[in-house]
Structure 1
Amino acid sequence: MYREHIYRLYRVNMNLKEDESLLLLTDTEKDYLLALIDQFVESARAITQKVRHCVYPSLGGHGKEPPEEVWRLAFGDRAIDELRKKGLFEHILLKEDYSEYEALQILKAYAEDVPQVVVAFPYFSTTHTFFRKALTEGFGCRYASMPLFEPEMFYGPMNVDWDYVAKLSLDVADMLSEAEWVHVKAEGTDMEFFVLGRRAIADTGLFHHSGQYGNLPAGEAFVAPIENSAFGKLTITYGPDRKLERPITLKFRDGAVEEIEGFEPYRNYLEEVFKRYENARVIAEFGVGTNPGAKRPDNVLEAEKILGTVHIAIGDNHTFGGVNRVSFHTDYVVFEPQVTIGGKGWQKRLLEKGRLRT
C-alpha cells in the first residue's frame, strides 16, 4: 500500500537509475519493518534489477555498527576477510581505537560490487557508523538513513516540497558554519557551546550526488560542537520514541553530562549507558529543524525535523566533523527555543520562540 510513496522516494530523493545497484537494510526490532522491506524491494525492481536486501537482528541501540553479514553484503567477502586478517574488523564493530584510514584503504583495495545507493531503515540508526562513512566518503555511495521510520511518515514529513526544504537547510547550514558559538534558551534549557571551525551539514532530503547522505524524512542543518565546550542545562520532555512521564534535566560541564536531575525511567537507561560508555556523555550535535511537514514530537526521526525546533545530541559525532567515537548517539528536541549565534564582533538571533529567522 506504500509502493507509490516508496517509488517517489527512489526517484525524487535518491535519483535511483536503472543501471545502479541498490542495497536495502532493516532490522528485526519491529514487525512492520519486516513487512515494509518487501514493498521496498518490489518498488525498486520497477527501476533496477540490481537490488540486494538484508534483515538483521536488532542491535538494541543507535550508532552501533551493523553486523558482519551486512558488511559482507556491501563490500564483499574478500574485503571483510582482509580486515579480519589485519585485526581491524572486531575493533570496527566495537568502535574501539583503530585507524580509519587503514581500514578504508583495505576496503578500497579489496571491495567488490559496492552499491551506489543504500536505503537503510532499521529501527536503530546506522547514520553515525564507520559503515556509513566508508560507503559515502570512500565509495561515493548515496545513503538514506531512516531509523525509527514509520510508514505514516509518507503522508507527513515525506510529502513536502523537497526543493524548499533543501534551500532552507542549506541557508541555515551556512549560518551555522560561519558561527563561533551558539546559545540555546527554552523552558528549562539554557546552554552555550562553541562550533568554531566546524562545518555544518544540510540534510536536504535530496541525495543525487556522489557521497551524499542523510535522513529520510529529512529537513535539518546540523553541526558537531567542540566536544569540551558545552556548559549549562538541557531539559528533555521526550525520549527517542515516547513522551517522558516527567521531564529530566541534563547538566553539562566541560562538554559532557555531569549530572541528571529528575526521576523518570529514561534517566535509569541513560545512567546505564554512561556506565558502559563514558564518552556517551559528550555533546555530539546541534541541529535546526527545517521540514514544514514534520509534526510528531514523540518520534525523534520526525521531531528533530520540525520547523522551528532545535535538537542537541550526545554520543558519537566522529562521522560528521567531530572527534568522539562511541556506540551511542541520541538526539533530544527543544521546542520553541530562542537561539543566538555569533562570532567576533557580531551576533544573530537565529530562532525566536520557535520562529526561524533566516
Structure 2
Amino acid sequence: MYEDHIYRLYRVNMDLREWESILLLTDDEKDYLVELLYEFLDVAKRITPKVRYLVYPSLKVHGTEPPEEVWRITFGDSAINMLKEANLLEKVLNKEPYSEHEVISILKNYANDVPHVVVAFPYYSTTHTFYRKVLTDSFRVRYASMPLFEPSMFEGPMNVNWEAVSRLSTDVADILTEAEWAVVRGAEGTNVEFSLNGRRAIADTGIFHKGGDFGNLPAGEGFVAPIETSAYGRLVITYGPNRKLERPISLKFKDGAVEEIEGFEPYRHTLEDIFKKYDQARFIAEFGIGTNPGAKRADNVLEAEKILGTIHIAIGDNHTFGGKNKVPFHTDYVVFQPEVIVGGKGWQKRLLEKGKICT
C-alpha cells in the first residue's frame, strides 16, 4: 500500500544504493508497525539484496538502549561476545557508567558487516541512545529514527520539499549554535529560560546522504542540548507524547531540573514514576524549533515537534547530541504559537513571534 512512499524514502531521504546494506528495525508495540516493516523489507529488496531486519520486544520507554539482539544483528556475534566478556554490554544497555572509548574500541576491532543504512521505526525511540551514536559517529552509518511513526505521515510531513526543509533547519541550527541563551514564552503560560553557551546545534534535515548523517523521519527541526543545570521557569504542556492531556500540567524548572509538577492530570503520575526511578530524567535535555510545513498533527510528538513555528523542550537523556546527561529516558513537549528570544554578548534576536520564524 505504501510502496511508492517507502521507495521515495529510500532514494530521496536515505540515498540507498544498490551495493549498500540496510538494517530495518521495529518493536512489537504496535501491529501496524510490524506489518509496515514487511513492506519496507520488500521495497528494500528491489534496491539491494543486502537487507536485514528485526522485530524486538517493546521497551516501553523512549531513549532506552535497544536490547542485545539488536546489537548482535548490527555488529555481529564476535563483537557482542567480547563486550559481554569485558562486562560492558549490560552497563551500556542500562546506561550505567562505562568507558565509551573501550566499547567503541571493541566494536571497531570485532564488528562484522555493519550496515551502511539503518531505518529504525520502533514505537519507542532509539534516537537518543548510545547504539545510534556509535553507529553514526564511529561507523559513519546513515540512520533514520522514526519513533511513533504512523503511515498517514507519508501524505503529510513526509510529502514536502526536503531541500527547503533542509535549508531552514540549517539556518535555525546555525542561530542556536551562535546563541548563548534563550527565553521561551507561550500562550498557555510557558515562561522558561536556559543557557546554550558553548553547545552546537544540529539540523534535522531529512536528507541523510553522507556517512554519519542521522535524524528523524519525518524530519524538520533545528535542535540543541541546553546546559543541563541552567533552566529556570515554567513549561506548560498540553500534549503528552501521543495524546492531548485532559488538562494542562506545568513543569517548574530550577537549576535545570523539574522540581515540581503542577496540575491534576494522569500523565503527571507517569512522570513522577519516571523521576522516582531515574532522578536524572528531571533535567532539561533539548530545545528544538520545528521547520516542516507539512507537519500538522499535535497529538503525535514525532510530527508535532516538526510543525513549522513550534518549539519543543525535552527532559532526560542528551549525551548523544552534545549534552552530558545519561539516563534511559527522553521525552519532548511541544509549545504552540511561542515567542523565542535568543542572544549572546552584545546582541539578541527575536527568533519566533507567535509561531512565525524570524530568521
TM-score, reference length from structure 1:
1.00
In the alignment, the residues of structure 1 paired with residue 339 and residue 136 of structure 2 have an alpha-carbon distance, to the nearest angstrom, of 34
In the alignment, the residues of structure 2 paired with residue 226 and residue 33 of structure 1 have an alpha-carbon distance, to the nearest angstrom, of 35
In the alignment, the residues of structure 2 paired with residue 192 and residue 18 of structure 1 have an alpha-carbon distance, to the nearest angstrom, of 48
Matched, 1:300 2:301: yes
Matched, 1:167 2:179: no
Amino acid at match of 2:205: T
1:324 alignment counterpart: 325
In the alignment, the residues of structure 2 paired with residue 31 and residue 86 of structure 1 have an alpha-carbon distance, to the nearest angstrom, of 37
In the alignment, the residues of structure 2 paired with residue 205 and residue 34 of structure 1 have an alpha-carbon distance, to the nearest angstrom, of 23
Give deviations 1:282-301, integer Å, cap 9, x for gaps: 00000000000000000000
The 5 A counterparts of 1:202-217 are: 202-217=203-218
In the alignment, the residues of structure 2 paired with residue 35 and residue 89 of structure 1 have an alpha-carbon distance, to the nearest angstrom, of 30
In the alignment, the residues of structure 2 paired with residue 262 and residue 276 of structure 1 have an alpha-carbon distance, to the nearest angstrom, of 21
Amino acid at match of 1:28: D
Amino acid at match of 2:64: K
1:350 alignment counterpart: 351
1:119 alignment counterpart: 119
Give deviations 1:241-281, integer Å, cap 9, x for gaps: 00000000000000000000000000000000000000000
1:29 alignment counterpart: 29
Shift of the alpha carbon at 1:34?
A: 1.1
In the alignment, the residues of structure 2 paired with residue 101 and residue 180 of structure 1 have an alpha-carbon distance, to the nearest angstrom, of 30
Give ranges in structure 1 of 5+ residues lacking alignment. none
Matched, 1:262 2:243: no
2:312 alignment counterpart: 311
Percent of aligned positions that are identical: 71
In the alignment, the residues of structure 2 paired with residue 138 and residue 97 of structure 1 have an alpha-carbon distance, to the nearest angstrom, of 19
1:98 alignment counterpart: 98
Amino acid at match of 1:67: P
In the alignment, the residues of structure 2 paired with residue 89 and residue 31 of structure 1 have an alpha-carbon distance, to the nearest angstrom, of 29
Give deviations 1:194-222, integer Å, cap 9, x for gaps: 00100000000000000000000000000
Shift of the alpha carbon at 1:324?
A: 0.1
In the alignment, the residues of structure 1 paired with residue 331 and residue 117 of structure 2 have an alpha-carbon distance, to the nearest angstrom, of 25
In the alignment, the residues of structure 2 paired with residue 235 and residue 302 of structure 1 have an alpha-carbon distance, to the nearest angstrom, of 19
In the alignment, the residues of structure 2 paired with residue 308 and residue 127 of structure 1 have an alpha-carbon distance, to the nearest angstrom, of 22
In the alignment, the residues of structure 1 paired with residue 299 and residue 101 of structure 2 have an alpha-carbon distance, to the nearest angstrom, of 38
Amino acid at match of 1:342: G
Shift of the alpha carbon at 1:146?
A: 0.1
2:82 alignment counterpart: 82
2:273 alignment counterpart: 272
Amino acid at match of 1:82: M
1:11 alignment counterpart: 11
2:139 alignment counterpart: 139
1:47 alignment counterpart: 47
In the alignment, the residues of structure 2 paired with residue 305 and residue 145 of structure 1 have an alpha-carbon distance, to the nearest angstrom, of 14
1:149 alignment counterpart: 149
Three-state SS of the structure 2 residue aligned to 1:43 is helix
Shift of the alpha carbon at 1:101?
A: 1.0
Three-state SS of the structure 1 residue aligned to 2:46 is coil
In the alignment, the residues of structure 1 paired with residue 55 and residue 253 of structure 2 have an alpha-carbon distance, to the nearest angstrom, of 38
In the alignment, the residues of structure 1 paired with residue 122 and residue 133 of structure 2 have an alpha-carbon distance, to the nearest angstrom, of 17
Amino acid at match of 2:91: H
1:200 alignment counterpart: 201
Shift of the alpha carbon at 1:182?
A: 0.2
TM-score, reference length from structure 2:
0.99
Shift of the alpha carbon at 1:102?
A: 0.8
Give ranges in structure 2 of 5+ residues lacking alignment. none
1:237 alignment counterpart: 238
In the alignment, the residues of structure 2 paired with residue 304 and residue 138 of structure 1 have an alpha-carbon distance, to the nearest angstrom, of 28
In the alignment, the residues of structure 1 paired with residue 192 and residue 202 of structure 2 have an alpha-carbon distance, to the nearest angstrom, of 21
